[in-house]
Amino acid sequence: MSEATAHDEYNSNAEQFANQIHSARANHARKTGERPAEELFTPFNRAGLGVFLEYERMGNRPVSEALESDAVEHGLELDTLASRSVRSSMALISKHR
């Protein structure tokens, strides 16, 4: 398989997967009455959406359970400006859903 063909196949698969995800999210939103996350962010600045989706993927946690456990074991608490910002954003999003 040529590099161009492999690239085209990859893009085709990625597009199909993205469509399936979008469809599943839309169905969930219809069933629950929640607005899809994509609607909560402006179309011209999707950086916040990326952060939101990654945070959601991580179980709404700023760090993994393993890292947090290791930190607690050593008497540390992990908190960053990003996690504070995400908590603030999540609170705002919750109000608008």
Better pLDDT: 80 or 71: 71
| Domain locations in the chain as residue ranges | 1-34, 35-97
Kindly report the CA angle at 90 between 88 and 92, in degrees rounded to 5? Answer: 70
- Model confidence, pTM: 0.45
* DSSP-based three-state secondary structure for 35: coil
Say if residue 84's pLDDT is above 70.
no
Element (H, E) at 83: helix 81-96
Say if residue 95's pLDDT is above 90.
no
Asked whether 36 and 25 are in contact (CB, 8 A), the reply is: yes
